Amino acid sequence: MAWIRTIGEGDAEGELRLVYGKVTTTRGRVANIFKVQSLDPSSLAAHLDLYLNLMFSKGKLSRQQREMIAVAVSAENDCHYCVAHHSAALAKHMDEGLAAKLATDPRQAALGPKERAMVDYALALTRDPRSLTQKDIDELRKGGLTDEEILQLNLVASYFNFVNRVATGLGVALEEEQDSYRY
């Protein structure tokens, strides 16, 4: 499951049991990315809240756009765990072939101009955040993004850089069955 000790759902007590209950209610079951954080229930709770807010709350970016960013960033970081989960979610919102291309080679995926600009920004933020300048933001605006969309784009890309490092750095394994997750 992971390279560190985790606490399973059946052994969870106190705050962890409450957080696992929330995960199960909102996501269908507790994914390994959440279980790997079981030794720190308060951080897990904060992580869950951030994830639900960034990926499912009302916002200027569509669910498809958010998942595109998740897949592109995760592919760039070579995070197999997040690519698997989020490309499955993305395939529910777009052509499966295009979702697969984003998962394997996001730079070559055939996207419209707005989505291309979003993915390119997310990849630049992932590869070399210090290279970004005001010009990059101005280009996003020229591409039709509002400041609210730019903020959400940045937050989703930054979140997946964080969670990719949790998954990869702690050896989180992909679940055998993903069918019960709510994408």
Q: How many residues does the chain have?
A: 183
Looking at residue 4, its pLDDT comes to 98
The pLDDT of residue 180: 45
Q: What is the pLDDT of residue 49?
A: 95
Two structure tokens written together for 6: 């985790």
Nearest to 118 by CA among 38, 62, 49, 47: 62
- Secondary structure in 3-state letters for 86-153: HHHHHHCCCCHHHHHHHHHCHHHCCCCHHHHHHHHHHHHHHHCHHHCCHHHHHHHHHCCCCHHHHHHH
pLDDT tens for the chain, 183 residues: list them: 899 999 999 999 999 999 999 999 988 889 999 999 999 999 999 999 999 999 999 999 999 999 999 999 999 999 999 999 999 999 998 888 988 999 999 999 999 999 999 999 999 999 999 999 999 999 999 999 999 999 999 999 999 999 999 999 999 999 986 554 444
Q: What is the distance between the alpha carbons of residues 34 and 167, in angstroms, rounded to a whole number?
A: 10
Report pLDDT for 75.
97
Exposure on the CB side of residue 67, measured as CA atoms within 13 A:
22
Residue 178 pLDDT = 57
Listed by start position, the domains of the chain span 9-56, 63-169
Residue 167 DSSP class: H
Residue 95 pLDDT:
86
Degrees, nearest 5: CA angle 76-79-84: 105
Which pLDDT does position 130 carry in this prediction?
97
**Quick one: which H or E segment has residue 20?**
helix 14-27
CATH number of the 63-169 domain? 1.20.1290.10
